[in-house]
Amino acid sequence: MQNKRLNPFKIAQAQLDESVKKLGLAPRIHRLLRKPMREYRLTILVKMDNGRIKRFKGFRIQYNDARGPCKGGIRFHPEETIDTVRALSAWMTWKTALVDIPLGGAKGGVICNPKTMSGGELERLSRGYIRKIFKYIGPERDIPAPDVYTTPQMMAWMMDEYSKLKGYYCPGVITGKPVEIGGSLGRGDATARGGIYTVREAARHLRLNTKNATVAIQGYGNAGSYAAILSREILGCKVVAVSDTKGGIYNPDGFDPHSVLQHKKKTGSVINFPGAKSITNKDILELDVDILCPAALEYVITKQNAPKVKAKIIAELANGPTTPDADKILYNNKVFVIPDFLCNAGGVTVSYFEWVQNLSNFYWELEEVHQRLDKKMTRAFKDTLNMCLKGKVNMRVAAYMVAVSRVARAMELRGW
Ligand code: GLU
């Protein structure tokens, strides 16, 4: 996942440096904020279906726990690198601080290609990963969750493995579980729903009517497909283009996102959806739409294509989809960017609700989850927008300033 010329961790550090300078934080605090607190490199041995033992490399990085136990997902991806996991663990730290939940930041990853692995192999890998980090995680220590190519079923296996090792049922060790075993109602679409709430607030600020506003979504996984469904359901938008790794589809009259999802489930991709024109993953980013939603991987909006972006709002549901060069171009062109760790914070927010429900063993109605999520996302959006207007900085720098100052304050109070 690491673009050859771009090191995501170096970028994350540069973004941090800029906000630290603006906030005037002490060099001691700055130094602590620049690096992860703890890093684990793992080798996981898995018996494959053909009887052979395969070695997988994995990571768990606990970036900062000044505000509470570490929190963050696990990615299963063939191009995972330690620097990507480092960057993502830093972003989790800023994300939990920005939505003001009492958790820190972490991230995990395994270098593997889940698309070529059987269910049994994925189960053994999931359990093997937990056996390796068992001692370093826990409801009071570090709580993993799903991310790219990891699913609620994998969270179920992981929770089961941890519980077996502990000797009793421990749902609070992992979030994003199926509801039948301690998952929260509303966790499935939480990342997209939270993002849509921030789009609603951005549109309010820009005085943009979202009724029939056009939307293009790159990526039709969990976040992207629910973003399509909810942008229509909550904001009345018209979804005109979507894509996945195999390519994209376009229809100026709009799609029914549910039918596109059915088509993807049946055929494995959104491409060849009846009545739609084909479009490439590159072209989808340059379409003349009101709202553009990158919901796949890092660094898809670069200095090459940023000048061609026509959208009024970019809602970054993916982590790190925009390069720093592109950021400057978008800001000058008055494209309103809802930065990733604000836009996609809905997932971890409902993960936090799930953890709270697990610890109290008392489960909430769906409406309660939605209301509380809306409150958190709206508050975080407003805090960021206020900082953006007050400090005359872009939304990303503003989000950093709000989040980093909260983490720094916790560290100071704890005497670090
Ligand atoms: N992987 C998601 C994220 O990047 C969710 C993390 C969580 O729920 O802990 O925010």
Whether the Cβ atoms of residue 270 and residue 294 lie closer than 8 Å to each other: no
How confident is the model over 14-38, as pLDDT tens digits?
Answer: 999 999 999 999 999 999 999 999 9
Look at residue 389 and tell me if it is in a domain: no
Looking at residue 4, its pLDDT comes to 53
> How far is residue 128's CA from residue 54's CA, in Å, rounded to a whole number?
12
Residues 39 and 159 in one domain: yes
Q: How far is the CA of 401 from the centre of ligand 1 (A)?
A: 21
Are both 268 and 166 inside the same structural domain?
A: no
What is the total count of domains within the chain?
2
Q: Tell me whether residue 397 is in a domain.
A: no
Do both 216 and 321 map to the same domain?
yes
**pLDDT value at residue 93:** 98
- Written as one letter, the residue type at 194 is G
Q: Which of 257, 222, 263, 259 is nearest to 242 (CA)?
A: 257
pLDDT at 12 over 90: yes
Residue 344 alpha carbon to ligand 1 centre in Å: 8
Instruction: Point out the catalytic residue in the list 107, 132, 177, 312.
Output: 107
Q: State whether 220 and 305 are in the same domain.
A: yes
pLDDT bin (cut points 50, 70, 90) of residue 9 is very high
Average pLDDT over residues 100-117: 98
Give how far Cα 413 sits from Cα of 62, 63, 102, 141, Å: 20, 18, 15, 20
Cβ of residue 108 lying under 6 Å from some atom of ligand 1? no
Nearest Cα residue to atom 7 of ligand 1 = 348
pLDDT of residue 5: 65
| CATH number for the domain that contains residue 41 | 3.40.50.10860
Which segments of 113-256 does DSSP mark as H helices, in order? 119-133, 152-166, 190-206, 222-235
The verdict on the CB of residue 318 being under 6 Å from ligand 1 is: no
The pLDDT of residue 335 is 97
Domain boundary residue among 343, 358, 384?
343
Q: What atom of ligand 1 comes closest to residue 75's alpha carbon? A: 1
State yes or no: is 132 an active-site residue.
no
Q: Is 195 in the pocket of ligand 1 (CB under 6 A)?
A: no
Distance between CA atoms of residues 234 and 200, nearest Å: 9
Contact 404, 20 (CB under 8 A): yes
Q: Looking at the structure, do residues 44 and 169 belong to the same domain, yes or no?
A: yes
List the domain range (segments joined by +) for residue 78: 35-174
Q: Is the CB of 348 under 6 A from ligand 1?
A: yes
Residue 260 and residue 141 share a domain: no
Shortest-distance atom of ligand 1 to CA 176: 8
CA of 147 to the centre of ligand 1 (A): 6
Centre of ligand 1 to C-alpha 13, Å, is 20
- Tens-place pLDDT, residues 41-68: 999 999 999 999 999 999 999 999 999 9
Quick one: 137 and 196 in the same domain? no
Burial class (CB in 10 A: 0-12, 13-18, 19+), 266: exposed
For every residue of 160-186, which 3-state class applies, written as one string?
Answer: HHHHHHHCCCCHHHCCCCCHHHCCCCC
Determine the Cα–Cα distance for residues 74 and 191; give it in Å rounded to an integer: 15
* Bridge partner residues of 54 (DSSP): 46
- What strands lie across the sheet with 214-218, from one edge to the other? 277-279, 247-250, 238-244, 214-218, 291-294, 313-315, 336-338
- pLDDT tens per residue, range 352-390: 999 999 999 999 999 999 999 999 999 999 999 999 999
- Residue 360 C-alpha from the chain's centroid: 26
Q: What are phi and psi of 410, to 5 degrees?
A: -60, -40
Q: Which atom of ligand 1 is nearest to the CA of 175?
A: 8
Asked if 215 contacts 291 with a C-beta cutoff of 8 angstroms, the reply is yes
pLDDT digits (tens, 9 = 90+) for 209-254: 999 999 999 999 999 999 999 999 999 999 999 999 999 999 999 9
- Give the confidence band of 39 by pLDDT, cuts at 50, 70, 90: very high
User: 411 lies in a domain?
Assistant: no
What pLDDT score was predicted for residue 2?
A: 47
**Does ligand 1 come within 6 angstroms of the Cβ of 75?**
no
pLDDT at 176 over 60: yes
The CATH number of the domain holding residue 241 is 3.40.50.720
Residue 3 has pLDDT above 90, yes or no: no
DSSP strand pairing (336-338 vs 277-279): unpaired
Residues 109 and 135 in one domain: yes
